[in-house]
Amino acid sequence: MTTNEPATVRPDETPAPAPRPPVVTTMPRLGRGVCWRDIVREIELDELEREARMKEAA
């Protein structure tokens, strides 16, 4: 390899793809006194209730 050759050349002579930056998603702002932990817990409780109703119906 010479100084003019890139270090990321593959054996088949195609250059390696550039690394992608990580995907960053922002969480929407919540009202005062509300945190995501509370929301996740409510979702988990809803799922448990739904599973219990499905077992009763079966």
Residues spanned by the domain of 45: 29-58
* pLDDT per residue as tens digits for the range 35-50: 888 888 999 999 999 9
pLDDT greater at residue 44 or residue 24:
44
Closest by CA position to 36, among listed 44, 27, 45, 26: 27
Average pLDDT over residues 1-20: 63
Q: Looking at the domain assignment, is residue 6 inside a domain?
A: no
pLDDT greater at residue 4 or residue 20:
20
Average pLDDT over residues 6-35: 71
> Phi-psi category of 33—alpha, beta or left, where left has phi over 0 and alpha has psi -120 to 50?
left
Q: Looking at the domain assignment, is residue 42 inside a domain?
A: yes
Residue 6 has pLDDT above 60, yes or no: no
What percent of the chain is helix, strand and coil (3-state, nearest 5)?
40, 5, 60
Total structural domains within the chain: 1
Query: pTM score, two decimals?
Result: 0.44
Q: Looking at the domain assignment, is residue 41 inside a domain?
A: yes
